[in-house]
Structure 1
Amino acid sequence: MPPQTAHRHPVRVYYEDTDLAGIVYYANYLKFIERGRSEWIAALGVDQMALRAAEGIVFAVRRVVADYLRPGRFGDDLVVMTNLQELGGSRIELRQEVWREDERLFTAAVTLVCLHDTGRAARIPAAVRSLLEAARS
């Protein structure tokens, strides 16, 4: 059963998300969890476009370790679960899962890094850090 404390983002599997067998194409899980992360950070009150415009700060994926457990299929209603695991000076570690009802289909450990728009590492701004820390508790 999906964790109740995680951020939940619904995803419907469309024909375009599948291969010839009607199974979710593996790379599309990465798109699903990207949407889940975007909705998670927005739900915390972080406006990524405003952050980039005001401070030149962006978040980028540094690492993804993924496990494909069961196939999603055309027409499925899925839920992307996002949980904050660790928070560093410029790093955010998340656990993301994709569920179909009580069945876990996909898991990923995702490491994000905070960067200046020049590509150099940046500390997570204090206001954003406060929002992230509140999400962890």
Structure 2
Amino acid sequence: MSDALLGTIDGKRHIYPFCVFYEDTDAGGIVYHAQYLAFAERGRTSMVNLLGFSNRNIAERHKVAIAVRHCTVDFRRAARLEDRLTVESRLIRMGGASLGFEQKIMRDGEELVVIDIVLACMSLETFKAQRLPDEVRNVFSDYLDVNEG
């Protein structure tokens, strides 16, 4: 499954290519640390869209939001202005009300940043945890990847 703007599903992995722009960097042309979270968000959102959903239609149909609950970021190498990077996303955990992803920001096969992120499904009315909608769970269950690599 592939779309020029949304990336590619390769097995159970989503690959989102992009280029580092001036706005992503500090004065020295190095990617500013917080931008890696934005890159990861773009990758996850593109994966969700490629699978046939959007954050907006999930919210409208099911009255829930899927928001970041927890994340860890391992910065290994810096990216620079105009680098061509990819965000590789794998769903590695699925709970009753949560999704866990491993996301790697890569340059030419080298891991620059590894992000472990947990998203929680919550009611838009009470802002409390709510079970993932079956529609979402069913689609994502096909992409659950508990293997290392």
1:14 aligns to 2:21 (yes or no): yes
Which of 44, 47, 58 is the matching residue for 2:54? Answer: 47
Which of 71, 74, 77 is the matching residue for 1:67? Answer: 74
1:25 aligns to 2:18 (yes or no): no
- Between the aligned partners of 1:4 and 1:89, the Cα distance in structure 2 is 24
Structure 1: which 5+ runs fail to align? none
Q: State the TM-score, normalizing by the size of structure 1.
A: 0.93
Shift, 1:4, TM fit = 6.6
The 4+ residue runs of structure 1 with deviation greater than 6 A are none
1:9–1:80 contact (8 Å) kept in structure 2: yes
SS at match of 1:53: helix
- Equivalent pairs counted in the alignment come to 135
Query: Any idea what the Cα deviations from partners look like across 1:96-120, whole Å, max 9, x if unmatched?
Result: 0000012110001000000111311
Structure 2: which 5+ runs fail to align? 1-9
Shift, 1:69, TM fit = 0.4
Which of 101, 114, 118 is the matching residue for 1:107? Answer: 114
2:12–2:144 contact (8 Å) kept in structure 1: no
Q: Which moved more, 1:42-51 or 1:52-61?
A: 42-51
1:90–1:121 contact (8 Å) kept in structure 2: yes
Query: Any idea what the Cα deviations from partners look like across 1:6-54, whole Å, max 9, x if unmatched?
Result: 1001121011111111100000000000000101111122232112112
C-alpha distance 125-28 of structure 1, shift in aligned 2 (>3 A): same
- Quote the residue 1:135 is aligned against: 143
SS at match of 2:78: coil
Q: Which moved more, 1:38-47 or 1:92-101?
A: 38-47
Q: CA RMSD in A?
A: 1.4
Which of 1 and 2 has higher RCO (CA within 8 Å, sep 6+)?
A: 1
Identity of aligned residues (%): 33
1:11–1:79 contact (8 Å) kept in structure 2: yes
1:44–1:135 contact (8 Å) kept in structure 2: no
Which of 128, 134, 143 is the matching residue for 1:126? Answer: 134
